[in-house]
Structure 1
Amino acid sequence: MFISKEWLETFVEINQPVNVLAERITRTGIEVDDIIDYTKDIKNLVVGHIQTKAPHPDADKLSLCQVDIGEAEPVQIVCGAPNVDAGQTVIVATVGGRLPGGVKIKRAKLRGERSEGMICSLQEIGISSNLVPKQFEEGIYNFTSDIKPGTNALKALYLDDQVMEFDLTPNRADALSMVGTAYETAALYNVPMIRPETQSQESTKQATDEMRISVQNKDKVPYYSARIVNDVKIQPSPEWIQMRLIKAGIRPINNVVDISNYVLLEYGQPLHMFDQDQIRSKHIEVRQATTGEKMTTLDNQERALKDSDIVITNGDTPIAIGGVMGGDFSEVTESTTNVVIEGAIFDSVSIRHTSRRLNLRSEASSRFEKGIATEFVDEAVDRACYLLQQYAEGTVLQGRIAEGQLGQFVTPVNITVENVNETIGFNLSPEEIEAVFVRLGFETTREGNSLTVMVPSRRKDITIKEDLIEEIARIYGYDEIPSTLPVFKQVTPGTLTDRQAKTRVVKATLEGAGLNQAINYSLVDKTRATDFALQDRSTISLLMPMSEAHSTLRQSLIPHLIDDVSYNVARSNHHVALYELGRVFFGNEENQLPDEVEYLSGILTGDYTVNTWQNKKEEIDFFVTKGIVDRIAEILDIQFEYEAGEIDGLHPGRTAWVKLNEEIVGFVGELHPQTENNYDLKRTYVFELNYDKLMSVSVGYINYEPIPRFPGVSRDIALVINRATPSAEIVKIIQNYGGDILQHAEVFDVYEGEHVAEDEKSIAIRLAYLDMHQTLTDDKVNGVHNRILEALQAEGATIR
């Protein structure tokens, strides 16, 4: 909504710079998005009167004009506008003046003829071409009224003005009008608000003799009224109407149409003006359209209607789509003499559906969608009648033709002084609270500390006492709310919790390893809700899901991560590494809340390392993925153990359970080939960890050890064992018999194939020995090493 300060000052006395006014309005909840200054970059712009016009001797398209600009002698100006003529009152930029865009006006010679100034079009003084009246679109502007030459042209054009652009929230529909904004401004500055003149001189002829109205669907159209004005003369509107429309973003057309738009902006009440003679009936019937019914609207588009649309008819044929747009054959034209003015209340939901379906968004439909003020419906129609009488020389017929009820103009809301002061923190008296409502234009009655506020229909955002409290805070001033500090019995420093600190380190580690964080919905389709679940628990489904794809709470993060990778691969991003830290949900008994558990999961596919300058690629495999999981354990100072396992959806030979203190806390594995094929993926690896269990482990303090002073010894052993025996069991046996000098045992080679039986495998293990207190001797190392070999042989291993 564009609010002209010049127009606003006709309702309230402000006497404040526009930037101060804008700041005050913004602080009360209506954001002023921009201020448009029509005086910016303009200098020496006056009104001129063209006394004579003569053709330029050396240019067919130029004219020599003698222009009176209020000085002792007229000045000669060379003008190329096609519509320039003697007798016109025009806009003149004099020598030394400036125009928007940095244009400087100087004395010049055009084809040998002197030119002292410039006769301007509206575009040249900053008006957008789509807002300029049609008759002046291709030439200079000339005034419709006589104005003394030399007058400041910006003042004559009502452009000595700044316009505020409101960024309104849907609840503040009252500020979609000048009157509503005037009430708001009057309350802010505690000044009276002047209502527009609406009283016209009526003829003795009754409007009810000329027209009757019937409404079939009163649930959709609770009130419909009309007034009639005869003998109007179609002509340009006066400058003040034209320019106020232009500043509001509406192109002037003629006095009748302009008055309709002007009143819409003034009251926020959309009106429609029909050519009475073109209605071709003395009966206006409001009804629902029939499916398949067609009509041509004012934009010359044929519209197919549905039975959900509201139409205004002449008893048979639609002449307008109610609240959206009029029809072509009943529109006001140059030959119109008799006008029917419609003022109505339409169902906001119906208007919204119709305008959206037909893609017809208009100033009228946007206001009907948000709900209009019932108190202004008839007053706006009367205002239009008054303006038509004044500026179209119309004759207003007596009375109003109406059907239905306007409803209540006010809504009572009760409030107490205690409600206000306890909620806001003020210490206001009943008189001060009442004064705020009086400033807002709300009639108020007070009994002791209780107040009954009659909220007018223009403020549909106020329905309960909390809304009234907000109004008091706004008008009294948010800056006046006393500031207090909270009272602490025990003050704690604002530091990260242990879990928060660990989580930051875990995320940094994963991102350092090349993984990007993914954030997915907690809802999946029911068929995938239990995929990859670590627990066999019931699921939780929504009663009314938006779609089947998001109907059930997940029990694993993996399904959505697979979707993410599939989406990327389908768009030629073949190297993807993602992790997600999020919650999964396990159902309990009926009427009990589910258990929420935080999981940490990851997915990797493609190449892990790509060095194009070295022609080096490293494809992601099980051990890369396991290494990332090991790194998580390392930074959390915990120890994972791995055990071969099988999980539906994962490769049966490339999957391992992750254990912590003998308890399964997750898994690492490759997706099953069938799963990869279903999602058009190459080899893809995943991991999932119960993050809550990782965080529940207390690791205590970090204990540092001195750097060893004595050298260590390493020994390699190779052994053949049954293929079904996990390597981890062999390493565990070695650790059990390694005593206090075995530092670690690492598998560095596994061989299956030629020279080894089909049911066996060869494993090579490197053992590192170190004594922290003395130099190792061969005897001590051999003793421990032989003990380890004997234990391995006892388990069925053959030492190679």
Structure 2
Amino acid sequence: MRVSYKWLQEYVDIPVSPEELAERLTFSGVAVENIEYLGKDIEKVVTAKVEKIERHPNADKLVVCSVNCGQAENLQIVTGAPNVAEGQIVALALVGAKLPGGIKIGKSKLRGVESAGMVCSAQELGLDPKGFPPDQQEGIIVLPEGTPLGEDIKKVLGLDDVILELELTPNRADCLSMVGVAREVSAVLGTDFRPPRISVPETSEKIDGLVKVVIEAPELCNRYIGRLVRNIKVAPSPEWMQQRLRAAGVRPISNIVDVTNYVMMELGQPLHAFDFDKIQEQIIIVRRAGEGEKIVTLDNQERALNSDMLVIADGCVPVAVAGVMGGLDSEITENTVNVLLESACFNGPSVRRTSRALGLRSEASLRFEKGVDPNGCLRAIDRAAQLIAEMGAGEIVAGVVDNYPCPVENLQITLRPARLNRVMGTDIPTETMVDILNRLQLPVEAKDEVLLVTVPTFRGDIAREVDLMEEVVRLYGYNRIPTELPLGRSTQGKKTFEQGMQDKVRSILTGFGLNEIITYSFINPKAFDMLNLPAESELRNAVVVQNPISEEQGVMRTTLLHGMLEVVARNLARKNKDLALFEMGNIFIPVAGEKLPREELTLGAVVTGNRPENWNQKAEPMDFFYLKGILETLLEELGVKETSFVPFPGHPALHPGRTAQVLLAGRPVGFIGEVHPEVMENYRLSGRAYVMELALEEIIAVSVKTKMYRSLPKYPGVERDMAVVVKEEVLAADLLAEIRQQGGPLLKNVRLFDVYQGEQIQKGYKSLAYAFLFQSSDRTLTDEEVNDLYEKIQNALQTKFGAQLRA
């Protein structure tokens, strides 16, 4: 937002320099990014009148001018400006003048003729040529008739001004206008605020029956006002208005268009002017565009619209894209006689989406995007009518057409002074709070020990008590808040036990060569179909995301499998065939009666392909037992005991005959197995893949927090092997449990070291070979003791499982 210091002084007294004003505004929360002195590089440039023009004797494209700048004698100036003419008042750079860019003007000769200065163009004065009439864009500036001669050009063109460039936060839409900034300056400096007085001279003709306004999309347009102006005289706007517009960064066009832009910069309410005679059926319809409907906008571009866009239409076709740009067919031209002024309040997000979709961003769309005051629409359109009448550019028809389906009322908020001081750490008197709020044009009524504050609709950023607290404190001065160190018990900064165990899990798994992955917590609802989950599966009961980034991230995950398999698929597609990955993340389980789901920390892993080949080890497939070995080592390192594995054919995403459930003290905490061939096909995976998923929180909860020291044994141990033949369906884990039970405390270790099925073993049977270690901590065991335990184990296996010693 560019704020003219001179223009600002029309609405508020400013007894400080621009630099001090910028500093105080910045400290109050309205940041001033830059201060620009418009004419600081211009010296000795004055107004002058071209009295006489003669042809240059030695050049066809140059002329010799006799110029009167208010001095005793006229000056001779040589110029090649194509638009110079006798009687014009121009900008004359005298000998010794300085121009932007470090240019200095001296006495010179052009093709043998002496020139005592230079007549200046807009560009030579550092101005944008597009802000001037077409003939002056390529030539020199021509000033209005009656401009005093010898005047400093900075004063005449408004270049004796200072521009404050504001960097506004998105919530301060009220400061996107000169009056809004003036209101803020008044509050900061404590000086009087003088908004423009508006009075509209109207004709006897009434607008009733001349114009009709229909709002078909009230959710996108809260208010629409139309005002009719007759007998328009299109001409350049007054010089003072052009100067103010140029200072604000707006290019002057014509008096009617300039008035709409002027009011937008002054009051913050965008306006639009239609050629009323081109509005078919004299009706304005605010509606959504039809799918594929087209309009040619003011920039002469045909735009394709869609049903998400809001348009202003007449009885037949769209005449403007609401809040973005008008239509070419209804623009103001030299032939315009009657004008319909528009002042409306459009939905900000809708304008933002439309402007982005069409690639059109303007000062008007910027203000609608940030939000305009619906109760300021009438004031703005009346101000425009007043200015048109004062310029003699038209006759104002009495009344307005105002369609305001849901009027917005001022908000009332209770402010507790005691709570403000407690929250902010201040000791601001209540009287000071009332004074600050009144300076901000927020009326206050003291009631008991609270303040009842009325918030006008132009302050849409104030909605709660804390917003009022911020207003008071920022005007009171953040620098006046006492600086105090927080009090409290100092604590040692370190990770919790759970965080330490998570780090340990990462360290163990990466030590096995697994790489950690992180996948999205949001997944595609189709993932459950890809995992072959039945309709009644609990895993399908997922939290639905209300505003998903895309359809592929529509629900919260209830398992890590989908994310891991997608990573595998992506890597296999890029020829990365040997993969060992793990992920540690939350799954989200809905809880009946609760707004938020239960988050469960889960560990997942997947392997596929071969292990890396070494000089002493061939590349071998990573199979079920490879992943199971990693899991067993992990549990052992975490100090987790009483774990076991049982067949688990019930998981639909896994191979029914190659899956095990992980039990902890008899209760399930996860699973491990081979991915089902159908699921492999759904993810377009080749070969075989093995996965595991564990409830990590439950495992960490029973892990050993402190490792206990145990001295090395003093007495030798005795090793024995036992190979037994059992039926195929007998589980090795069941045999192992029975061996440990019969071996008692003297059986220190038992290990399965061989599984065999072949020619020497009967069909339907298998041979399992175990290695035993018997050892006592207080004596050397005798052969008799070891033999008794060995026979006890053998007899128990034979009785319970029908196991026979293998010869």
Which moves more between the two structures, 65-74 or 415-424? 65-74
Task: Identify if the C-alpha distance between structure 1 residues 571 and 27 changes in structure 2 by more than 3 Å, giving closer, same or farther.
Answer: farther
**TM-score, normalised to structure 2's length?**
0.75
Give the letter for the 2:212 counterpart.
Answer: S
Q: Partner of 1:676 in structure 2?
A: 680
Task: Identify if the C-alpha distance between structure 1 residues 672 and 343 changes in structure 2 by more than 3 Å, giving closer, same or farther.
Answer: closer
Corresponding residue SS for 2:206: helix
Task: Identify if the C-alpha distance between structure 1 residues 740 and 308 changes in structure 2 by more than 3 Å, giving closer, same or farther.
Answer: closer
Would you say the 8 A contact 2:280–2:316 is kept in 1? no
Separation in 2, partners of 1:17, 1:452: 36
Q: Partner of 2:233 in structure 1?
A: 232
Q: Pairwise mapping of residues 281-360 of structure 1 onto structure 2 (< 5 A)? A: 283=282, 285-286=284-285, 296-300=296-300, 301=302, 309=310, 311=312, 313=314, 319-320=319-320, 323-336=323-336, 339-344=339-344
Q: Partner of 2:559 in structure 1?
A: 556
Would you say the 8 A contact 1:341–1:381 is kept in 2? yes
Would you say the 8 A contact 1:542–1:552 is kept in 2? yes
State yes or no: 1:504 paired with 2:512: no
| Deviation per residue, 1:504-535 (Å, 9 max, x gap) | 333454456443242533677499399789x9
Which moves more between the two structures, 707-716 or 460-469? 707-716
Corresponding residue SS for 1:669: strand
Would you say the 8 A contact 1:737–1:784 is kept in 2? no
Q: Partner of 2:204 in structure 1?
A: 206
Corresponding residue SS for 2:328: coil
State yes or no: 1:659 paired with 2:657: no
Give the letter for the 1:598 counterpart.
Answer: E
State yes or no: 1:472 paired with 2:472: yes
Q: Partner of 2:693 in structure 1?
A: 688
Separation in 1, partners of 2:617, 2:83: 74
| C-alpha displacement of 1:579 | 0.5
Q: Partner of 1:257 in structure 2?
A: 257
Task: Identify if the C-alpha distance between structure 1 residues 449 and 719 changes in structure 2 by more than 3 Å, giving closer, same or farther.
Answer: closer
Separation in 2, partners of 1:756, 1:403: 98
State yes or no: 1:434 paired with 2:434: yes
Corresponding residue SS for 2:379: helix
Corresponding residue SS for 1:630: helix
| Deviation per residue, 1:16-74 (Å, 9 max, x gap) | 676765665555555x4x7245459985666367978988979x999999999999999
Give the letter for the 1:213 counterpart.
Answer: V
Q: Partner of 1:596 in structure 2?
A: 598
Task: Identify if the C-alpha distance between structure 1 residues 104 and 677 changes in structure 2 by more than 3 Å, giving closer, same or farther.
Answer: farther
Question: What RMSD in Å do the two structures reach over aligned CA positions?
Answer: 5.6
Q: Partner of 1:383 in structure 2?
A: 383
| Deviation per residue, 1:199-245 (Å, 9 max, x gap) | 57x48x4353898333344966755241526453522663x644654
State yes or no: 1:704 paired with 2:703: no
Would you say the 8 A contact 2:717–2:776 is kept in 1? yes
Give the letter for the 1:649 counterpart.
Answer: A
Separation in 2, partners of 1:442, 1:461: 13
Give the letter for the 2:45 counterpart.
Answer: V
Task: Identify if the C-alpha distance between structure 1 residues 140 and 561 changes in structure 2 by more than 3 Å, giving closer, same or farther.
Answer: farther
Corresponding residue SS for 2:165: strand
Q: Partner of 1:179 in structure 2?
A: 179
Q: Partner of 1:164 in structure 2?
A: 165
Separation in 2, partners of 1:74, 1:377: 53
Aligned length: 780
| C-alpha displacement of 1:261 | 1.0
| C-alpha displacement of 1:491 | 6.9
Separation in 1, partners of 2:693, 2:565: 13
| Deviation per residue, 1:263-300 (Å, 9 max, x gap) | 1121112222234565588x555565896887644333
The sequence identity of aligned pairs, in percent, is 30
Would you say the 8 A contact 2:45–2:97 is kept in 1? no
Corresponding residue SS for 2:635: helix
Give the letter for the 1:311 counterpart.
Answer: I
| C-alpha displacement of 1:440 | 0.7
| Alignment gaps of 5+ in structure 2 | none
Corresponding residue SS for 1:212: coil
State yes or no: 1:636 paired with 2:634: no
Separation in 2, partners of 1:672, 1:664: 21
| Deviation per residue, 1:247-270 (Å, 9 max, x gap) | 545433233322211211211122
Separation in 1, partners of 2:96, 2:228: 51
Would you say the 8 A contact 2:2–2:164 is kept in 1? yes
| C-alpha displacement of 1:385 | 3.9
Would you say the 8 A contact 2:157–2:243 is kept in 1? no
Give the letter for the 2:606 counterpart.
Answer: L
Specify which of 581, 585, 590 is matched with residue 581 of structure 1.
Answer: 585
| C-alpha displacement of 1:783 | 7.0
| C-alpha displacement of 1:693 | 1.6
Q: Pairwise mapping of residues 362-761 of structure 1 onto structure 2 (< 5 A)? A: 362-368=362-368, 371-388=371-388, 393-397=392-396, 399-403=398-402, 410-413=410-413, 415=415, 417=417, 420-421=420-421, 424=424, 426-446=426-446, 449=449, 451-462=451-462, 465=465, 467-480=467-480, 493-510=492-509, 513-521=513-521, 525=525, 528=528, 540=541, 555-566=558-569, 569=572, 575=579, 577-585=581-589, 591=593, 596=598, 598-607=600-609, 619-639=621-641, 640-646=643-649, 647-682=651-686, 683-697=688-702, 699-705=704-710, 722-729=727-734, 744-747=749-752, 750-753=755-758, 757-761=762-766
Task: Identify if the C-alpha distance between structure 1 residues 404 and 106 changes in structure 2 by more than 3 Å, giving closer, same or farther.
Answer: closer
| Deviation per residue, 1:654-690 (Å, 9 max, x gap) | 3232233343322222211221111111322221112
| Deviation per residue, 1:624-648 (Å, 9 max, x gap) | 4334433532442224433443333
Task: Identify if the C-alpha distance between structure 1 residues 78 and 519 changes in structure 2 by more than 3 Å, giving closer, same or farther.
Answer: farther
